[in-house]
Structure 1
Amino acid sequence: MESSFGKACIVTEEISGLNKSGGIGACALGLTLHLTALGYQVEVLVTDMVVSAADISRFQESHPDLTITLLSAEVSEDDEVASPVDSISKAYCVYRFIKRLDPDVVHFNDWLGSGFYCAMARRQGSLRSRVVTHLHGSSEWVRRYNRHIPSLENFEVEGIEKSQIENSDLVVGPSRYLLDWYAEHNIKLPESRVINWLLPQWFDAALVTNVQLRTREVVGGGIDTLVFFGRHERRKGFEVFLDAVARFPEDFHPNIVFMGRFDRIDREFTGSMALRKLRNYGGEIHFINDFSQPEAMGFLKRRKGALCVMPSLIENSPCVIGECFTVGVPFVASAVGGIPELFEDKAPQCLANPDGKDLSAAILRIANDGMGPIISSLKPTKIMEEWEKLHAILFATPGAGETKIKLMPLVSVCITHYERPKFLELALKHLNGQTYENIEIIVVDDGSTSAAATKELERIEKTSSRFPIRVVRTSNNYLGAARNAGARVARGEYILFHDDDNVAEPHEIETFVSAAVHSDSDILTCQAYIFRANDARGPFADAKKRRSIEYYPIGIGGVFSFFKNRFGDANALIKKDVFEKLGGFSELRGVGVEDWELFLKAYMRGFKTGVVPAPLFHYRVSTNGMLATGHIQDNHERIFTAVDHAQPALVGDILRYANRNELAQGILDQTWYRLGKEVGGALQHELMALDPNSSDARGKLSDLALEIGRIKDAVQLALPIFEQREKLLALTKILGADVRSNLQQHASIRLSSGVDVRGYFLEGWFVDKEGRPDAPDGILIDKERYTLLSANRYDRPDVQSALELSSSTGIGIRALVRKEPSGRLGSPFRAKPRQRIRIDGIGEVALLKASGKLRGHVDKAVGYTSVSVTLPDDGGWSGGLEILVEDGVRPAINWGPGVFDFGLSYGANRKTYSAPKGGVLPRTVEIYLPADTAIDVFFR
């Protein structure tokens, strides 16, 4: 049902609980929950191309009211574009989705620039939706403080991020610091506001109050665990933390937990860096690299002696600090960036300088003397009110739709031609069909001598047409000179250069001019449809062939522009006076990329360039064109000469890119040599080559911990890996009984395909005669009776639509049914079967119901067995289980009589379960799961 409050779209690469657990994902979920609660119609577009429909289904078990759309699914339905391969092509696919959805307001993040084309279209007057960009920290901001060696792709992404910010209607940042940083780095901010993010936890009524958020008190001597909370990045202070721990006195050695994803710093695997630098540390070292955001916060809440440490070198306004405040977890953080803005006290005890010496002293001071509650400046209800007021303004003044330009400046279309009369005829036909009225056409013949070309040119001059056409004949001087000849006689305020084998869309010139007038751009390129026809029928030679967009120009310049043309094609609209100020095209015979050279000169001179994010013409790819046959080095010499002439100011990023290969090799050689001299050097070298967050890397890190004598750390690393646990169990006689005890705090279950099926997991839908959610009391399969043990419900809008029901809530059902040992059901089920259903692989299923009518369908049935698992009895178990499963497996746990738990999904291969509070738990629990499968059970 349409919301009277208006429609919003939130575009994000991640959202907490679905695919990732970073700050952007938390903020996206928080904003989504807030807008939905206010009554807005909200759709979330997830741009992570690896998220599946199954992931969405699991996510919506926890958030059934949220509408999540996958960009990958939208692209599969778009016949004109292929699946995106980088941030630029992804941003274009996002634009096409937003154009179709037409929301009132669309929210983007600055990181990765997914709103680049939308913001560009908004500035050009062709997008109705208001564009809001949330400032989390751009790729350039992250790169500089992580000291990453940049690629051209990095520079391109940073360029579209900057353009998106500048072209947005509004930018919102959680800290004054980051707004100032952008301004200092030459980003022209539009209207901007400082409003803190919204955390998902704040929508728990038990947490959201008017009371200020604060950490719990730390009692002197009460710290037994330090938790490094964040990704293993230089920017996050990973090395600073290691330096601080290494400075602790021998009598202070709390356990260390690294909670965040592994990475590499100077090519060294961060896990091995931690073990190397803390080899002789007296406490245990644990690594948790796969927790979701709820799991991480649950872990911290349970450990009353934990102190979080966030020693970042630079920060915007980190969500982890807000999360610590929300659950009361004490912490130490760096006094950098936007962090100080998060405190009520201007000089809180928990802030330190981002260096090892000062951080170590701060941790020791808190551990020894304790620390009182730290009060946050974050006030959830006030922040929600600020967002509510902002959206009231945004939706009260919705963006205008596409507007027609009042003035229609003359556009001179300059067509260059050489010996292709049939292509020229087609080009003129489509230019004469333009929706724009004020056009003159100039055909520059670049020395054609064939009879066919001569005849066609004479015909053009003698035949009347909708727009005035002038033919200019020159000797064969190639494209640059031919285009300049046309520009010299052009009378228009704008020039549109057009090759004779380009085919215009009917609205090309009208769209170009409207975009240029609205955005006050000096030069605009555009998208194009690609075709490969070598005859005069052009792009319409094959009526069955779909229109294809394969290249994504961005129209803007940057460091990347000196090495690659991302501006676009010469089929571009240019103000005539700007073209003259640039000196036109350089006239080199037989050398290509004259369009790249002109655009680069415009960038170096500071003219305003952009791209129209719509395909306005058809571009023919030819095997014998200038780009295909020209000399590559000659083409690039043209660019080098243009730069020599302009002598632009040298920027550091040019040097960073120019030296990237030598710098990368130098860092690799230095790290390889240094690690080779360490204990476990061979393993250190192997870890440098592995995916840091892979199971292989964790196994090798366990081997390294064992080799350097950190046995307990090796055990903790081994727990999630079956083969690694078996290896360590085989060594328990050498390593000691405590190793076996630790390893056995885990159950590894392998089921063969020959086990008996004890029940079924059913998925489908059921309603009573009134259309309300219902369920059978049991089922009959091949004369065997099964009792309904437990079920959870979900929404089925498809069933609601098909049956014309009033609601879809709870119609769907996932149920667990168990075979009765006697084959008979009790008296309540003596009724005749209410309905019979055929299920592939099982046969006919009869639904049993004690009373009332039942409609429904079983979409899927999976045969299940059950196994018993013994719960720990050492007194240290927190009551949580985590089960690693194969794709698509959904175990259910029976905690006791009638107490079934289907768990919560965190990713495709992990489910978590919490033991019921109160009462006495049994010594063993039953886990229902399919035959021929394997699971790993961890006691948390």
Structure 2
Amino acid sequence: MTGPRLGRYCDIYFKPEFAGIFENRNAAKVALLVTREFEGKEQEGLSRNGGIGTYYRTLSRKLAEDGWYIILLISVCEHRFRGESKIPEIKHIFSASEAEEVLDLQSSHRSILGDARIDSQLLDYESFLHMMFTQAIVHTFDEAHIYVEHHELFGTAFRTIQAKEAGLLGRNCLVAITMHGCLEWVYESHDKFVLQYLDYYWQASHLEQTAFESADLAFFPSHALKKRVESYGWSTAHARHQPYFVPIVEPAISEIESERQTPPRTQKRSLVFFGRLEERKGLCTFVEALKQLTDYWKERIEVYFVGRVVALETFRPQNIDSRQYIAQELADEIHYTVYSGFSSAEAIAFTRGLSSPVVCLTSNQENFPNTALEMGQLPISLIVSDTGGFRETLQLLERTEGVYWFAPRDVTGLMDAILQVLCQPPQPHNVPTHEKLEQINRRLLTQKLTYIQQAFPRQPLSSPSVGCPQVTVVVCCAQADKQLLNCLHSLSVQSHMDLEVVVLCNFSRCEADSSIFQQAGAIFPRIGLLRTSHALEVDVTWKRLKEMINGKFVVVFEASSVAMPFAIEQLLQTLQTAQAEMATCSVLDSRNPDRAVNLTQIPLPALLKTSGQAPACVLLPVGALDDYAPNLTRPDGLHTGRMLASALAHGRKIAYYPYPLCQRQSRTEPALTAKEHLREQYALRHYLARGDAGQWSRRQLYVLLSAAQQLLYQEIAPPAAYSHAEPAPEPPATPSVDPPAPAAAEGSAAAAAAADYWQSQWRQAQLRIAAMESSKFWKFRKVWFSLKQRLGLPNDE
């Protein structure tokens, strides 16, 4: 799985007291399902409803039927399962937050977790925990085929996929992602186009897209959802169409456990809004359609809202939830009842127990909703928004009878559909039989297992052959000192034998330099020296550098860092295993050797905002070196951060070894001044703009356009126009992670900025009012209104 020289440096095992809980360590097939939701009311700590939870419950049952050993990993969960499961098809349950309690973590593991925790990189922290659990499962079942499935939300599979590409999970582990509805799609379906938490949004969206495109297997449930994410620039050519399994609704009403779920008896027709009570599900469209009904029909229907009450985005400034909104709009209009807090099974049982119910599924957009899979099995009338997700779902069930369609967001169309149903006498409709549903599920299971089997390599487990190609290390040096010698010492003891070194320095010659370079030559006989200066044209320097490079691969390395003995070998193996165009790694912090500095892949808007991250080293094939030529106007040599940004902009594959392979030497670097930071931002922008924009990836162009639109809006709009545009995000945080300290300061700064804005607006308004009142027009206006009042004329005359 990893090279022998790495030993236990990056391997992870369960602690001895937990290693013994696994019943069958000789299992041939192991499935690790990683999710935020799992419908399992039998066990404390699991959710009672939700589409993703229903999906994973059904998936676990189907895989267990095929003989898979199922392990469930719950993210964003405080509960401590300790591997215990009360669900028959699940062998073990863990929460990501208990990683440090059940996993035998070494200093290398704690170092990368420490960086994510200290910097409050909550998305990264959770993703690393998932990666480490996966490593432990792989080592526990070392002879098994291991299938790992994540949802795409928040990109929590990102680090696991990086570990797989780096060879840390072996070749018998398969990492898959099923698309359920990414953050961009959720915001769009909520009509949230103005965002306040831009950095979080950019980061989460980038991780979702990158993880989905890099997974061994990628599934999408509906063509409608696939088409939407393609419009955001996602690449889906490798993805497989895999509809959800059908959660079969049993004919007996066995889930009603108390009078609270017992449907009321009424002579009126029952109209049911079924789903989470939010705008995305069409709540506002449904309420407006009810208000347009005549009094005749309002008196003849009983309306039931069956779904979870949530805060509404449309009314966020007023802090109104869906229950309050319904009361505000319908209190004097129609008789209704809100039922919130049901589990999925309880909600279905309640709805089925109503007398001739008419269920309305009114979403603005849909992915492949379980609500339609469930309601489509009941012999009731359905009024359905004609989104691709709903239509594909009902087509899977072959449910056509008693279905009434209307255009999404069309209030009048929905009202007409309601009237069409109400004007007809209640009658049961033909629905798919139990045997038909089982047949559908068997077909879907066979299809999914075929995809999984085809994705596993046919060759026996083995590490890819790296060989020993010649590698040229270009050491970028700002000054000749002891740090340069330490760097060269670390390169001289590399496990990869065929190395040559070129020192690229951008300082003037002095007597002390000669002594340093004499020592450098003694350390590393195969060494070259190339100086850069303003007096020498950059293109000439670049040409000379390429002439000095003899290796098939090039490593750009900071002289302020030292490499671990296996660094070059591991980077080379990572590049070839991932079939990438660039490889890099995390680096240990010189000020705190127990903490690594993780390289978090961030989208271009964030890179441009921060002037980019500079990894300690990057490795790439020599043929790709021209793609990363330095600016011809800036004689500062190669810059790893700009090289990384260029690879991202052009959609090139970047492999990342998640554990530190080098360490920065201690040196107190002065913080950049504001002017220096702006200069670095300009340099990065100039570096990215020098190439052919036609070679940029479509995704990055879309992201940059979105970011520019957001930032321009915030520039011209008053703060209040977007301060309530979205709720505080819900990242996959864990109780052990402290929230970022600057958050309060940022909030107070935003509030102060808003206050300053409105004060300035008020002062300008006062000046305008004073100017108007002193004008001849204003004086004449006062006389005119006084005359109209005396004549008895209305003010609007």
Task: Please report the TM-score for the alignment, with normalisation by the length of structure 2.
Answer: 0.71
Matched, 1:142 2:202: no
Please, what is the CA RMSD of the aligned residues? 4.1
SS of the residue 1:600 aligns to: helix
Matched, 1:334 2:385: yes
Instruction: Quickly say closer, same or farther: Cα 1:32–1:265, change in 2 above 3 A.
Output: same
Q: Which residue of 1 aligns with 2:99?
A: 74
Distance 2:713 2:705 in 1: 12
Distance 1:199 1:345 in 2: 13
Instruction: Quickly say closer, same or farther: Cα 1:605–1:562, change in 2 above 3 A.
Output: same
Matched, 1:91 2:127: yes
Of 308, 332, 352, which aligns to 2:406? 352
Going by fraction, where is strand more abundant, 1 or 2?
1
Q: Which residue of 2 aligns with 1:583?
A: 629
Matched, 1:658 2:711: yes
Deviation, 1:167, is 1.9
Distance 1:25 1:321 in 2: 15
Q: Which residue of 2 aligns with 1:248?
A: 293
Matched, 1:505 2:584: no
Distance 2:581 2:388 in 1: 37
Matched, 1:373 2:429: yes
Of 433, 437, 451, which aligns to 2:497? 437
Letter in 2 for 1:139: L
- The number of residue pairs the alignment matches comes to 644
Distance 2:532 2:683 in 1: 23
Of 111, 122, 126, which aligns to 2:153? 111
Q: Deviations over 1:614-633 (max 9, x none)?
A: 43222357542575897222
Q: How does 1:460-471 map to 2 (within 5 A)?
A: 460-463=520-523, 468-471=526-529
Deviation, 1:27, is 0.9
Matched, 1:404 2:455: no
Q: Which residue of 2 aligns with 1:45?
A: 73
Of 350, 358, 373, which aligns to 1:307? 358
Asked if the contact 1:266/1:668 (under 8 Å) is kept, the reply is no
Letter in 2 for 1:283: H
Q: Which residue of 2 aligns with 1:391?
A: 449
Distance 1:242 1:353 in 2: 16
Q: What 5-or-longer segments of structure 1 have no aligned partner?
A: 209-218, 534-538, 540-545, 673-686, 692-940
Asked if the contact 2:476/2:504 (under 8 Å) is kept, the reply is yes
Q: Which residue of 2 aligns with 1:263?
A: 311
Matched, 1:15 2:42: no
Of 164, 171, 174, which aligns to 2:221? 174
Letter in 1 for 2:137: L
Asked if the contact 1:7/1:40 (under 8 Å) is kept, the reply is yes
Percent pairwise identity: 17
SS of the residue 2:355 aligns to: coil
Deviation, 1:206, is 6.9
Distance 1:134 1:26 in 2: 14
Distance 1:659 1:280 in 2: 43
Instruction: Quickly say closer, same or farther: Cα 1:489–1:206, change in 2 above 3 A.
Output: farther
Matched, 1:492 2:517: no
Deviation, 1:413, is 0.8
Instruction: Quickly say closer, same or farther: Cα 1:407–1:627, change in 2 above 3 A.
Output: farther
Deviation, 1:447, is 2.8
Letter in 1 for 2:326: A
Asked if the contact 2:216/2:455 (under 8 Å) is kept, the reply is no
Deviation, 1:416, is 2.3
Distance 2:638 2:685 in 1: 12
Q: Which residue of 2 aligns with 1:847?
A: none
SS of the residue 1:379 aligns to: helix
SS of the residue 2:235 aligns to: coil
Distance 1:431 1:625 in 2: 27
Instruction: Quickly say closer, same or farther: Cα 1:5–1:345, change in 2 above 3 A.
Output: same
Deviation, 1:314, is 1.3
Asked if the contact 1:446/1:476 (under 8 Å) is kept, the reply is no
Q: Which residue of 1 aligns with 2:209?
A: 162
Deviation, 1:122, is 3.8
Deviation, 1:55, is 11
Q: Deviations over 1:637-684 (max 9, x none)?
A: 223434565585675413332135358857748999xxxxxxxxxxxx
Distance 2:716 2:304 in 1: 33
SS of the residue 2:388 aligns to: coil
Distance 1:281 1:502 in 2: 72
Instruction: Quickly say closer, same or farther: Cα 1:16–1:566, change in 2 above 3 A.
Output: farther
Q: How does 1:543-622 map to 2 (within 5 A)?
A: 546=594, 548-554=595-601, 557-564=603-610, 569=615, 571-585=617-631, 588=634, 594-620=639-665, 622=667
Instruction: Quickly say closer, same or farther: Cα 1:52–1:664, change in 2 above 3 A.
Output: farther
Q: Which residue of 2 aligns with 1:639?
A: 684
Deviation, 1:107, is 0.8
SS of the residue 1:16 aligns to: coil
Instruction: Quickly say closer, same or farther: Cα 1:242–1:550, change in 2 above 3 A.
Output: farther
Distance 1:589 1:461 in 2: 25
Deviation, 1:22, is 1.8
Q: Deviations over 1:453-473 (max 9, x none)?
A: 5433212213566xx222334
Going by fraction, where is helix more abundant, 1 or 2?
2
Q: Which residue of 2 aligns with 1:30?
A: 58
Distance 1:444 1:559 in 2: 30
Distance 2:541 2:135 in 1: 35
Q: Deviations over 1:427-453 (max 9, x none)?
A: 222222322233211223443767765
Of 408, 413, 423, which aligns to 2:473? 413
Asked if the contact 1:427/1:504 (under 8 Å) is kept, the reply is yes
Q: Which residue of 1 aligns with 2:485?
A: 425
Matched, 1:318 2:354: no
Q: What 5-or-longer segments of structure 2 have no aligned partner?
A: 1-22, 41-45, 139-144, 255-264, 694-700, 731-797
Instruction: Quickly say closer, same or farther: Cα 1:65–1:646, change in 2 above 3 A.
Output: closer
SS of the residue 1:323 aligns to: helix
Distance 2:291 2:577 in 1: 59
Deviation, 1:12, is 0.9
SS of the residue 1:366 aligns to: helix
Deviation, 1:690, is 14
Of 565, 586, 595, which aligns to 1:527? 586
SS of the residue 1:226 aligns to: strand
Instruction: Quickly say closer, same or farther: Cα 1:192–1:570, change in 2 above 3 A.
Output: same
Larger Rg: 1
Q: Which residue of 2 aligns with 1:799?
A: none
Asked if the contact 1:512/1:573 (under 8 Å) is kept, the reply is yes
SS of the residue 1:33 aligns to: helix
SS of the residue 2:125 aligns to: helix
Distance 2:282 2:661 in 1: 48
Deviation, 1:500, is 1.6
Letter in 2 for 1:73: E
Deviation, 1:142, is 1.8
Letter in 2 for 1:421: D
Asked if the contact 1:350/1:362 (under 8 Å) is kept, the reply is yes
SS of the residue 1:137 aligns to: coil
Q: How does 1:291-302 map to 2 (within 5 A)?
A: 291-302=342-353
Instruction: Quickly say closer, same or farther: Cα 1:450–1:206, change in 2 above 3 A.
Output: farther
Letter in 1 for 2:571: F
Letter in 2 for 1:383: N
Letter in 2 for 1:597: R
Letter in 2 for 1:319: N
SS of the residue 1:572 aligns to: strand
Q: Which residue of 2 aligns with 1:904?
A: none
Letter in 2 for 1:335: D
Of 246, 269, 287, which aligns to 1:223? 269
